[in-house]
Amino acid sequence: MTSQILIADDDPAVLDWCVQCLSDAYRVVTAQTGRDAIEHVKRSKDIDLAVIDYRLADMSGVEAMTGIKDLEPSIPAIIITGYGDEDVAVESFRSGARDYLKKPFSISELTSKIDFYLALRHADKQRRKNVIHEADAPEGSGPRPPEMTLSQYRKVQLAVRFINDHYKTAISLDDAAREVGVSPAHFSRIFKKAMGLSYHVYLNNRRIAKAQNLLRTSAMSAAEIALTVGFADATGFGRIFKKLTGRTPSEYRNLPKK
């Protein structure tokens, strides 16, 4: 199921921009006040991540985040703000924010952070499942993977941003590894460990999400879209599109408009 993202900001223009830019990849719900954001989490138990403005109309973003975490402690939160002083960042991190973005920021910066922390949440859930599995397994039946270092996490985060910025071009795993300064083999291991999926699967997901948007909103042919989003040919694009969506590009384009 597609991840659900909560965006809390008292500026309707920011909310509209986030909905427009993020809805292809996530289910997006919005709130203009801290109280509404908390109510969203209270009513819906499937919020996967929250993006919260530091200054809301009725309370601070940190207060809203605290209220959300009182209900669902595992929800990662990203604080966004137009106030770039160090005190804001320190308060945000001390209160439990996973990251911090200063306005103005690009949609690529935001999506790379969203994808990164969603992947960490997925990995945490998987590790908890592994702990249960290992507790029931015979002793010595399999080693647990070592925890990643902060440096490794940051390299993966840089790689996600690199992919989001360049997915329309012919970027390889070697290119991404070179960008973050590690060997391809090491990069492949840490990316899979952090994201819960391989480099190539993540890259294809990003390309197909963009292709879905173009199929809905443009008159471009499937072959043109394939090249636009980074595939070498229409045949490979069609095969991967159907694998990920369950439909051919033409079937997807002909779905009733919502």
Q: Identify which has the larger pLDDT, 89 or 230.
A: 230
| Residues forming beta bridges with residue 77, ordered by sequence position | 50
Structure confidence by residue, pLDDT tens digits, 68-87 = 988 888 899 999 988 766 67
203 has a pLDDT exceeding 80? yes
Q: What is the pLDDT of residue 1?
A: 63
Average pLDDT over every residue of 12-38:
92
CA–CA dist 6, 51 (Å, integer): 6
CA–CA dist 63, 35 (Å, integer): 10
- Across 66-70, 105-109, 162-166, 177-181, the highest mean pLDDT is recorded for 177-181
Q: 48 falls in which pLDDT band (50, 70, 90)?
A: very high
185 has a pLDDT exceeding 60? yes
Q: What is the pLDDT of residue 122?
A: 74
| Domain parsing of the chain, residue ranges | 4-105, 112-196, 202-253
The percent of residues above 70 in pLDDT, for the chain, comes to: 87
Q: 63 falls in which pLDDT band (50, 70, 90)?
A: very high
> What distances in angstroms separate CA 138 from CA 53, 129, 131, 133, 177, one per listed residue?
48, 16, 13, 10, 37
Q: What is the pLDDT of residue 169?
A: 93
Average pLDDT over every residue of 160-184:
92
105 has a pLDDT exceeding 50? yes
Mean of per-residue pLDDT scores for the chain: 84
C-alpha dihedral sign at 137, 143, 149, 155 = negative
The CATH code that applies to domain 202-253 is 1.10.10.60
Q: What is the pLDDT of residue 196?
A: 73
Structure confidence by residue, pLDDT tens digits, 107-161 = 888 888 898 888 877 766 665 454 334 434 444 333 334 567 778 878 888 898 8
- For domain 4-105, the CATH architecture is 3-Layer(aba) Sandwich (3.40)
Structure confidence by residue, pLDDT tens digits, 211-242 = 888 888 889 999 999 999 999 999 999 999 98
Q: What is the pLDDT of residue 118?
A: 86
